[in-house]
Structure 1
Amino acid sequence: MPLMTQRPRTVFRKLDGILLLDKPRGLSSNQALQRVRHLFRAAKAGHTGSLDPLATGLLPVCFGEATKIAGGLLGARKAYETVARLGVVTDTDDADGQPLRERPVPELTIARIDAALQALTGCIRQRPPIYSALKRGGEPLYAKARRGEVVQVEEREVEVHAFELRSAADLLDGLLADGAPLLRLHVECGSGTYVRSLVRDLGEALGCGAHVAELRRLWVDPFREPRMWTLEALQALAERGERSLDACLLPIEAGMAAWPEVRVAAAQALRLGQGQAVEGEFRPAGSVAIVDETGRALGLGEVGADGCLRPQRLFAWAAQQVAPIRA
């Protein structure tokens, strides 16, 4: 028998930074994460907010110490472009699911569509999809649904900043083109909002049902105009060497714009790095990004009502601050 050749094991390395990945369709967020982690040989990596396998677009990937700010990016405002297919409801609320029922699409006007979109904008109550990564009893709901278990999902409050019609080329005053009845929509929303649920509820409001046919994430705060990298582009850079690949990474500071900045002196940085609070009149109260006198990020902290700054999640180098030399 011919000997089986084994692929060499990846030797991981310490790497810090943020990659703005353009996730391809067909991969889960974790599958995409593992591919780029092995490509960069990063010892530690995490993504900030899952995208469905059907979805494409921006998936920020945090390497190394950047994983300490990933939780803050999860709650950031996001924007999507989606295509709604009217007349068909699926069990997953998207095109990857099985059709549950079909209904004729009634005559629709732009005014009626806009009114239905407006009703789903603002602070609304939303029922997440049964096939979702939400956990119950430590297990994702989609795992229970795939086993055929009856899954009850409670409504929750979400924020939809914008839900707008971009194109209705296949639906104009009830005149359908030869293709499927489609609506191209723009969504801006806060944490925990499911675009699949928005499209599902829009379909019900229009009296015909709907599901997501396409979904692309355009941006995530603070990356409003992202330079995204595809897996193919990253692979090509990797073949040119790791220095070319690493040039794609953003510094950790690029992901910290959501937190108010607090600048500390060298002695204060040393104290924080030792896990101690720093008294003073720091502002504003709440979570803050701590930077040293050179502008380098030291991590996240908390300013109390008393103006005292306390360390929360500091980066490894914050504990390596050198004590100032005394004359």
Structure 2
Amino acid sequence: MSVGRRRNNGRKVDGILVLDKPGGCTSNEILQRVKRMFGAAKVGHTGSLDPLATGVLPLCFGEATKFSQYLLDSDKAYVVKAKWGEKTNTADADGEVVERCATDGLTRELLESTLPDFRGGIEQVPSMFSALKHKGQPLYKLARQGLEVEREARKVHIVQLDLLDFDTEHFSLFVACSKGTYIRNLVEDIAVAIGNLAHVVELRRTWAGPYVESQAKTVEVLSETLELGGHQALDQLLLPLSSSVDHWPCLTLSESSTFYLRNGNPVQVPGAPLDGWVKLIGPDEEFIGVGELQDDGLVAPRRLISNCN
């Protein structure tokens, strides 16, 4: 190998895998495992799930990493099961119980009457056991050192909040919410609102942005696919890059508009919306990236894939 030549660290793989994350591992741990299975050079995820959590975790391969931020910013949904009468230092079953209380007087009607207060816009103070950073250090690392720092409340939006199941030991909720929502905090706050304690014992993400649970592939399915068909078979499980923004307005460009956009120039596109973000399709019906409407009505390129013509 000549001096200065970069070592090949993996295959060029482009696309999105909807992974069914297993419990008991971090999002990064399972990402690295899947990356090795694919032999891929570049993979990123679109928002961490707690080690306890399972479910939809979109993984972006290669060029798809350019669009991971839009998935990170999207709404998500969860089914959460919580245990009454106990508070833990992490707000979930992975932590240590720090406080207990009686569960006498809890009723389904009492819980249901409290839920409307947590729908719509609410504020949350992030847990010390979160990935938010304080002076460059993740809060959870500080928490493990026994340290606590002041955290500002953050505004989030609870799109949907429904009670699925209830008894005096556990309750289960369906939650659809904006990015940055901490389900552990939500469970704790709901319990406190009715004079009790609770922590998360099960958490499953059922959708994230445009991706739903039925699309998710388990690690076991990936392993079987690799064994039977190798990398070629695994690649067939990837969704196209465009799937990350399929819910956006779509504009089809002429050959000349595509050329100018590819060179960083805003263009006029007939039928474009007045504002917002758009999915861009080239003259050969290939996905070329995303753009944003400017105040002057022109479409400006924002993220373009590099392998389009």
TM-score w.r.t. the length of structure 2 is 0.93
Structure 2: distance between partners of 1:44 and 1:277: 29
1:10: how far off? 9.1
SS, match of residue 237 in structure 1: helix
Q: Which residue of structure 2 lines up, in the alignment, with residue 175 of structure 1?
A: none
Deviation track 1:117-150 (CA, whole Å, cap 9, x = no partner) reads 2211111111121100111222211111111212
Amino acid at match of 1:52: D
Secondary structure, aligned partner of 1:317: coil
Correspondence for 1:231: 219
Residues 262-293 of structure 1: CA deviation (Å, up to 9, x unaligned):
22111111111122222455323222221112
Aligned with 1:316: secondary structure? coil
Structure 2 unaligned residues grouped into runs of 5+: 1-6
Q: Does 1:211 align with 2:180?
A: no
**8 A Cα contact 1:253 1:296, kept in partner:** no
Give 1:107 shift: 1.2
CA contact (8 A) 1:106 1:207 kept: no
1:263 matched to 2:248? The reply is no
Kindly provide the amino acid, as one letter, of the partner of residue 239 in structure 2.
Answer: L
Q: CA separation in 1, counterparts of 2:104 and 2:146?
A: 33
* Counterpart-to-counterpart distance in 2, 1:266 and 1:228: 36
Q: Structure 1: how far apart are the matches of 2:147 and 2:252?
A: 52
Which structure 1 residue ranges, 5 or more long, are not aligned? 1-8, 172-180, 322-327
| Structure-2 change in CA distance of 1:163 and 1:262 (3 Å) | same
Change (3 A) 1:263 1:236: same
Amino acid at match of 1:214: E
Indicate which of 266, 269, 274 corresponds to 2:263: 274
* CA distance, structure 2, for counterparts of residue 139 and residue 183 of structure 1: 34
Are 2:139 and 1:141 equivalent residues in the alignment? yes
2:209 matches 1:221? yes
Given candidates 269, 281, 286, the residue that maps to 1:296 is 286
For 2:267 and 2:195, the matched residues in 1 are separated by 59
CA contact (8 A) 1:130 1:152 kept: no
Aligned CA distance change for structure 1 residues 303 and 23 (closer, same or farther; 3 Å): same
Q: Does 1:17 align with 2:6?
A: no
Q: Based on CA coordinates, which of the two structures has the bigger radius of gyration? A: 1
Number of corresponding residues: 301
Give a deviation string over 1:52-80, Cα, whole Å, max 9, x none: 00000000000011111110011111111
Give, as a single letter, the amino acid of the residue that structure 2 aligns with 1:234. Answer: L
Q: Which residue of 2 aligns with 1:195?
A: 183
Residue 226 of structure 1, CA deviation: 3.4
Question: Distance between the aligned counterparts of 2:126 and 2:295, measured in 1?
Answer: 36
**Residue of structure 2 equivalent to 1:248:** 237
SS in 2 for 1:187: strand
Maintained 8 Å contact 2:40/2:61: yes
Q: Residues 7-86 of structure 1: matches in 2 within 5 Å?
A: 12-86=10-84
Q: 1:248 to 1:70 in 2, by over 3 A?
A: same
Question: Where does residue 4 of structure 2 map in the other structure?
Answer: none
**TM-score, normalised via structure 1 length:** 0.88
Amino acid in the other structure paired with 2:284: T
Give distance in 2, aligned partners of 1:275 and 1:92: 46
Aligned equivalent of 1:325: none
- Counterpart-to-counterpart distance in 1, 2:238 and 2:269: 35
Aligned-pair Cα RMSD in Å: 1.6
Amino acid across the alignment from 1:117: L
In the TM superposition, 1:170-185 aligns within 5 A as 170-171=167-168, 181-185=169-173
AA partner of residue 134 (structure 2): R
Paired residues of 1:276 and 1:310 also in contact (CA < 8 A): yes
Identity of aligned residues (%): 42
After alignment, is 39-48 or 223-232 more displaced?
Answer: 223-232
* 1:95 CA displacement: 0.4
Q: Could you tell me how far apart the structure 2 residues matched to 1:229 and 1:71 are?
A: 22
Comparing 114-123 with 12-21, greater Cα deviation is found at: 114-123
1:219–1:226 Cα contact (<8 Å) kept: no
2:110 — aligned with what? 112
